[in-house]
């Protein structure tokens, strides 16, 4: 297990700067997920750590060593790629053994390491097959096993599940999390899939245009996003964002007057707020269908029946669309008039710079 430290790391490709003076500490034994949209710099950052790209500025430390001047093979890292990168003319066993043999590891140790890795990934019966005889999930397991045999200080995963179907992706997420628990290794995992990030990470780093928007435990990032960008990017469906005017309400908390809509009493202290404009953010699970009393009235335009819950896409009278929730067994149909009740104490406020102001912790 090794700690990783990035200090003012920067990388540009002509006018494009995918990593911009980024500083980050990754704890020993941590499963850290780099999350963000395409082009945010997450894969470039991973390649910089691996040595597949050269730094323009900054330092990279793995354990007690500064490694940004070292070749990839000298850094003590193993990388699992999106496209698996297996040698097609070699058997699974030969794929596992190839790197070790190049490093002049004795053959008995090569055999022992390959056997142990194949046992961990449950691919013992595949050792004599070639990659074209394997399914996508099997190839991914082989790619992970090839990383394990190197006994690296650090594992790097570059969107390794994106080529798998939904069911296999779910199963492989669980297997990777269990593998991390067994190995206790430091792992950095790149994805644009927030479900992968939320279910696997010890901490999530949300990236946007080469900069860190937020670092935190998954539920902290979800429930207390530090910026409007994080609030909209993390969560499916996205957080509802509504323009509002702020006045002081009861107890010194902000009262949000929604544009052409209701007044909502938040739990955001007025002392944290300055002059506006402000926007109110509310996740769909806190905007629910109601029969008695309402904050929002509109027309259901789309109804997503997801089994355990139903998502209602509702057009309000002012032309704004919000997403609310109903029970899994919902009787709402497109075109129905609906009433939604807001759990306003769970609302966030976002200022003109995109900074977030949260409800006071209870």
User: What pLDDT does 5 receive?
Assistant: 97
User: What pLDDT does 207 receive?
Assistant: 96
In a domain, 235, yes or no: no
Of 194, 229, 264, at which residue does a domain stop?
A: 229
Phi, psi of 26 (to 5 degrees): -115, 125
Q: Is the same domain home to 65 and 167?
A: yes
Q: State the residue range of the domain holding 204.
A: 4-229
d(CA 315, CA 299): 5
d(CA 319, CA 342): 18
For the chain, the C-alpha Rg in angstroms (whole number) is 24
Is the separation of the CB atoms in 266 and 254 below 8 Å? yes
128-167 tens-digit pLDDT: 999 999 988 889 889 989 999 988 989 999 988 887 888 8
* Nearest C-alpha neighbor of 196 from the set 159, 147, 155: 159
How would residue 120 be classed by pLDDT, with cut points 50, 70 and 90? Answer: confident
d(CA 65, CA 54): 17
In a domain, 362, yes or no: no
User: What pLDDT does 23 receive?
Assistant: 96
Q: Is the same domain home to 267 and 312?
A: yes
* Nearest C-alpha neighbor of 265 from the set 226, 295, 288, 292: 295
User: What pLDDT does 171 receive?
Assistant: 83
Q: What are the distances in angstroms from CA 187 to CA 27, 110, 115, 280, 306?
A: 10, 23, 22, 36, 32
Is the separation of the CB atoms in 4 and 62 below 8 Å? yes
User: What pLDDT does 302 receive?
Assistant: 97
d(CA 209, CA 306): 33
d(CA 296, CA 274): 27
Phi-psi bin for 159: left (phi > 0), alpha (psi -120 to 50), beta? Answer: left
Here the CATH number for the domain that contains residue 94 is 3.40.50.300
What is the Cα 245 distance to its own chain's centre?
A: 32
Phi, psi of 275 (to 5 degrees): -60, 145
Residue in the structure block whose two tokens are 């980050």: 24
How would residue 81 be classed by pLDDT, with cut points 50, 70 and 90? Answer: confident
Of 174, 198, 229, at which residue does a domain stop?
A: 229
Mean pLDDT within 174-182: 87
Q: Is the same domain home to 323 and 344?
A: yes
Per the structure block, which two tokens stand in for 90?
């070699």
Is the separation of the CB atoms in 12 and 34 below 8 Å? no
Q: Label each residue of 134-176 as H, E or C.
A: CCHHHHHHHHHHHHHCCCCCEEEEECCCCCCCHHHHHHHHHHH
User: What pLDDT does 1 receive?
Assistant: 66
d(CA 311, CA 284): 8
In a domain, 300, yes or no: yes
How would residue 6 be classed by pLDDT, with cut points 50, 70 and 90? Answer: very high
22-76 tens-digit pLDDT: 999 999 999 999 999 998 999 999 999 999 999 999 999 999 999 999 999 899 9
Of 229, 264, 297, at which residue does a domain stop?
A: 229
d(CA 283, CA 234): 11
pTM: 0.90
Buried b (16+ CB within 10 A) or exposed e, 185-204: bbbbbbbbbbebbbebbebb
Q: Is the same domain home to 208 and 288?
A: no
Q: What are the distances in angstroms from CA 150 to CA 79, 147, 248?
A: 10, 6, 60
Here the CATH number for the domain that contains residue 321 is 2.40.50.140
User: DSSP states of 23-38 as a string?
Assistant: EEEE-TT-EEEEE--T
Residue 204: pLDDT over 70:
yes
User: What pLDDT does 183 receive?
Assistant: 87
- Give the chain's domain count: 2
Sequence-distant (6+) residues with CB within 8 A of 181 are none
User: DSSP states of 35-97 as a string?
Assistant: E--TTSSHHHHHHHHHTSS--SEEEEEETTEE-TTS-GGGTTEEEE-TT----TTS-HHHHHH
Q: Is the same domain home to 209 and 297?
A: no
User: What pLDDT does 136 receive?
Assistant: 85
User: What pLDDT does 137 receive?
Assistant: 85
Q: Is the same domain home to 209 and 248?
A: no
What is the Cα 324 distance to its own chain's centre?
A: 23
């Amino acid at each position: 297990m090794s700690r990783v430290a990035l200090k003012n790391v920067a990388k540009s490709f002509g006018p494009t700067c995918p990593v911009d003076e980024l500083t980050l500490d990754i704890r020993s034994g941590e499963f850290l997920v780099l999350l963000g949209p395409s082009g945010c710099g997450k894969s470039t950052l991973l390649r910089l750590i691996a040595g597949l790209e050269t730094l323009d500025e900054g330092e990279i430390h793995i354990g007690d060593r500064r490694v940004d001047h070292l070749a990839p093979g000298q850094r003590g890292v193993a990388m699992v790629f999106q496209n698996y990168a297996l040698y097609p003319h070699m058997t699974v066993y030969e794929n596992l053994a190839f790197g070790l043999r190049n490093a002049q590891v004795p053959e008995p140790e090569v055999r022992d390491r390959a056997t142990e890795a194949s046992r961990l990934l449950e691919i013992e019966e595949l050792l004599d097959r070639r990659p074209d005889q394997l399914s996508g999930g099997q190839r991914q397991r082989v790619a992970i096993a090839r990383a394990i045999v190197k006994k690296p200080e650090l594992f790097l995963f570059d969107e390794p599940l994106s080529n798998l179907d939904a069911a296999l992706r779910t199963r492989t997420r669980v297997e990777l999390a269990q593998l991390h628990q067994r190995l206790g290794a430091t792992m950095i995992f790149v994805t644009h899939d927030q479900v992968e990030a939320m279910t696997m990470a010890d901490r999530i780093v949300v990236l946007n245009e080469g900069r860190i928007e937020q670092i935190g435990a998954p539920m902290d990032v979800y429930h207390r996003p530090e910026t409007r960008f994080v609030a909209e990017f993390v969560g499916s469906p996205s957080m509802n964002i509504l323009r509002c005017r702020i006045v002081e309400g009861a107890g010194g908390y902000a009262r949000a007057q929604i544009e052409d809509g209701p007044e909502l009493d938040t739990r955001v202290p007025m002392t944290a707020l300055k002059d506006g404009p402000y926007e109110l953010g509310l996740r769909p699970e806190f905007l629910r269908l109601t029969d008695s009393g309402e904050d929002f009235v509109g027309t259901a335009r789309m109804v997503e029946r997801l089994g355990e819950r139903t998502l209602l896409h509702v057009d309000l009278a002012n032309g704004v669309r919000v997403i609310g929730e109903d029970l899994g067994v919902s009787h709402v149909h497109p075109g129905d008039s609906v009433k939604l009740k807001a759990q306003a104490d769970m609302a966030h406020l976002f200022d003109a710079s995109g900074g977030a102001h949260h409800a006071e912790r209870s």
